[in-house]
């Protein structure tokens, strides 16, 4: 075994003081400044990166997927694409409604029954309407009785105005009283002179008997005195009577004047006649109003029988016996609360076709189509009526209405048909087919400025948006726009 001197392996740390002095400052700079600064910078960068969305918040946008299609131009009359559709009345079903609220008692038609104008569709319970009519008729009779009474009052008022004998009688009585008083006043002076003569005789007789008191008995003197006092009282009574008669004469004179003025003016009688005329007009109006209520009640009773206003076939039985129609019925989809049945006209039918967004550029108003159904021996001819503005966002389709020309009797509403759209010809100078890719977007995402209409095309890979010009497409609804297919498919903001 070899002996090793451990002193030879020892390192003398005191050797090379200059080297130790040169390494010391660099090591302190790295550990004291560079490493902590790098760590701090990393934390700052991390915090800024995490808070970037809060410091500079991004703009909220709505991203809509593009609908891209290849527009194929072919010769006229060639099949372009097919779509499924459903037969429906054109333009809409005909609703037969109850014009008054009530409860259906009996339905008089069934589904697909042929209906003529004026035919009874349903009968509603009429008891309430019949009672209302009877009450209205009773009110008419009562109003007529009041009118008759008012006419009688008017006739009597006109008679009293034309011949006011009820005023002439008291006038004549007052004039008689005045004549009687005048007669009494005329005879009163004569009675007074007679009384004064009697008074003078009684005075002379009494004076003579008093002078012959010893010759004439005392009783005779007393009698003469009594006769004298009676004659004097008679004269005084006539004087007082003349005053009272003149007062009574003046009162009767005023009474006669008042009665004569009343007879000449006839104010009360004129007022009574005018009031009677107004009452007649009022009762006549009441009779007319009651007649209107009778007509309304009769109309309501007649409306308890629901009749068809147009010819056709029964499409749907909305009402049923015992069902309430009109007020209080919950409205359901496709009809209101007063609808009893719906009709369709077999000679006026159309198809509701669900066309994919990608096939919409190949649809035009007036375009010819072929209609097929297993129940047909040969396909039918139709044409595009219009493109509706109602899209189905779940199926990505848009409804297109197609007219069915000369529909067969076998066609019924809600039957499914296959619609083949035929080309309307090519605008290309080449005879072969040409294809052009186009993108379609809703009008809601289109912006407009002085340079025209445009959209922002989102590039999700680059997280950027670029501006693309768009234009409206003829043959599509106004809420659909297009731009050329040179841009890669993506999403639109």
Residues in the chain: 493
3-state helix, strand, coil in the chain (%, to 5): 45, 25, 30
Residue 50, in any domain of the structure: no
Same domain, 403 and 440: yes
Indicate if the alpha-carbon torsion angle 392, 394, 396, 401 is positive or negative.
negative
Same domain, 413 and 480: yes
**Which residue in the block uniquely carries the two structure tokens 């097919």?**
82
Average pLDDT, the chain: 80
pLDDT at 488: 46
Look at the chain and report how many structural domains it folds into.
4
Reading the block at residue 129, the tokens are: 């309407």
Residue 372, in any domain of the structure: yes
Q: Is the pLDDT of residue 486 over 60?
A: no
pLDDT at 352: 92
Residue 442, in any domain of the structure: yes
Q: Is the pLDDT of residue 120 over 70?
A: yes
Q: Give the model confidence (pLDDT) of 372-410 as tens digits.
A: 988 888 889 999 999 888 787 788 888 999 999 889 989
| CATH number for 337 | 2.40.50.100
Same domain, 358 and 459: yes
| CATH number for 225 | 1.20.120
Q: Which of 489, 470, 477 is nearest to 391 (CA)?
A: 477
Residue 316, in any domain of the structure: yes
Same domain, 219 and 320: no
Same domain, 472 and 482: yes
The CA-CA-CA angle for residues 406, 412, 418, to 5°, reads: 75
Q: Give the model confidence (pLDDT) of 133-149 as tens digits.
A: 999 999 999 999 999 99
pLDDT band at 437 (very low <50, low <70, confident <90, very high): low
pLDDT at 108: 93
Q: Is the pLDDT of residue 74 over 70?
A: no
Q: What is the DSSP letter of 60?
A: P
pLDDT at 462: 65
Average pLDDT over residues 481-492: 53
Q: Is the pLDDT of residue 19 over 50?
A: no
Domain limits for position 146? 129-157+275-302
- Using CA atoms, how far apart are residues 397 and 481, in angstroms rounded to an integer? 15
Same domain, 404 and 475: yes
44 contact partners, CB below 8 Å, separation of at least 6? none
Same domain, 133 and 73: no
pLDDT band at 3 (very low <50, low <70, confident <90, very high): low
Q: Is the pLDDT of residue 432 over 90?
A: no
Radius of gyration of the chain (CA): 61
Which string of b and e fits 143-175 if b means at least 16 CB within 10 Å? bbebbeebbebbeebeebbeebeebeeebeebb
Same domain, 362 and 485: yes
pLDDT at 55: 72
CB 380 within 8 A of CB 404: yes
Same domain, 455 and 309: no
CB 382 within 8 A of CB 429: no
The reported pTM is 0.56
Same domain, 282 and 324: no
Q: Is the pLDDT of residue 72 over 50?
A: yes
| CATH number for 82 | 2.40.30.170
From residue 317, give the alpha-carbon distance in Å to each of 31, 113, 343, 486: 92, 11, 9, 54
Residue 42, in any domain of the structure: no
Q: Is the pLDDT of residue 91 over 80?
A: yes
Q: Is the pLDDT of residue 2 over 70?
A: no
Q: Give the model confidence (pLDDT) of 325-373 as tens digits.
A: 876 555 555 567 788 999 999 999 999 999 988 888 888 888 999 999 8
Residue 18, in any domain of the structure: no
Domain boundary among 205, 239, 265: 265
Residue 398, in any domain of the structure: yes
Residue 58, in any domain of the structure: no
Same domain, 256 and 287: no
Q: Give the model confidence (pLDDT) of 258-310 as tens digits.
A: 888 888 888 888 899 999 999 999 999 999 999 999 999 999 999 999 999 99
Same domain, 413 and 467: yes
């Amino acid at each position: 075994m070899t002996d090793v001197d451990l002193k030879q392996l020892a390192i003398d740390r005191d050797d090379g003081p200059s080297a130790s002095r040169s390494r010391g400052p660099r090591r302190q700079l790295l550990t004291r400044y560079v490493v902590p600064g790098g760590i701090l910078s990393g934390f700052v960068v991390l915090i800024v990166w995490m808070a970037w969305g809060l410091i500079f918040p991004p703009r909220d946008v709505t991203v809509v997927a593009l609908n891209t299609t290849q527009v194929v131009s072919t010769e006229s009359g060639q099949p372009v694409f097919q779509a499924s559709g459903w037969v429906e009345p054109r333009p809409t079903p005909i609703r037969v409604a109850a014009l008054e609220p009530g409860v259906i008692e009996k339905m008089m038609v069934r589904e697909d029954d042929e209906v003529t104008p004026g035919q009874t569709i349903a009968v509603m319970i009429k008891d309430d309407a019949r009672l209302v009519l009877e009450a209205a008729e009773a009110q008419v009779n009562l109003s007529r009785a009041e009118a008759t009474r008012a006419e009688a009052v008017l006739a009597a008022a006109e008679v009293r105005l034309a011949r006011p004998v009820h005023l002439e009688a008291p006038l004549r009585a007052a004039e008689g009283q005045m004549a009687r008083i005048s007669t009494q006043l005329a005879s009163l002076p004569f009675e007074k002179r007679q009384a004064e003569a009697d008074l003078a005789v009684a005075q002379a007789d009494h004076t003579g008997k008093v002078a012959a008191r010893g010759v004439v008995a005392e009783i005779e003197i007393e009698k003469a005195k009594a006769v004298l006092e009676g004659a004097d009282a008679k004269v005084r009574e006539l004087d007082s009577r003349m005053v009272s008669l003149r007062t009574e004469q003046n009162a009767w004179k005023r009474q006669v004047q008042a009665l004569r003025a009343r007879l000449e003016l006839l104010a009360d009688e004129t007022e009574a006649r005018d009031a009677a005329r107004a009452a007649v007009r009022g009762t006549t109006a009441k009779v007319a109003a009651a007649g209107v209520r009778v007509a309304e009640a009769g109309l309501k009773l007649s409306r308890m029988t629901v009749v068809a206003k147009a010819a056709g076939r029964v499409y749907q039985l909305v009402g049923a016996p015992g069902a309430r129609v009109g007020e209080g019925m919950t409205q359901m989809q496709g009809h209101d609360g007063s609808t009893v049945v719906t009709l369709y006209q077999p000679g006026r039918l159309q198809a509701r076709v669900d066309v994919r967004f990608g096939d919409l550029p190949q649809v035009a108003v007036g375009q010819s189509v072929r209609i097929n159904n297993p129940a047909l021996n040969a396909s039918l001819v139709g044409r595009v009526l219009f493109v509706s503005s109602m899209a189905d966002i779940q199926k990505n389709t848009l409804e297109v209405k197609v007219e069915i020309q000369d529909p067969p009797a076998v066609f019924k509403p809600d039957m499914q048909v296959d619609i083949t759209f035929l080309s309307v010809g090519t605008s290309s100078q080449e005879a072969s087919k040409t294809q052009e890719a186009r993108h379609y977007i809703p009008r809601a995402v289109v912006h407009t400025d002085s340079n025209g209409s445009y959209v922002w095309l989102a590039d999700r890979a680059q997280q950027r948006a670029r501006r693309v010009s768009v234009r409206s497409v003829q043959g599509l609804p106004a809420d659909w726009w297009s731009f050329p297919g040179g841009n890669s498919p993506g999403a639109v903001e």
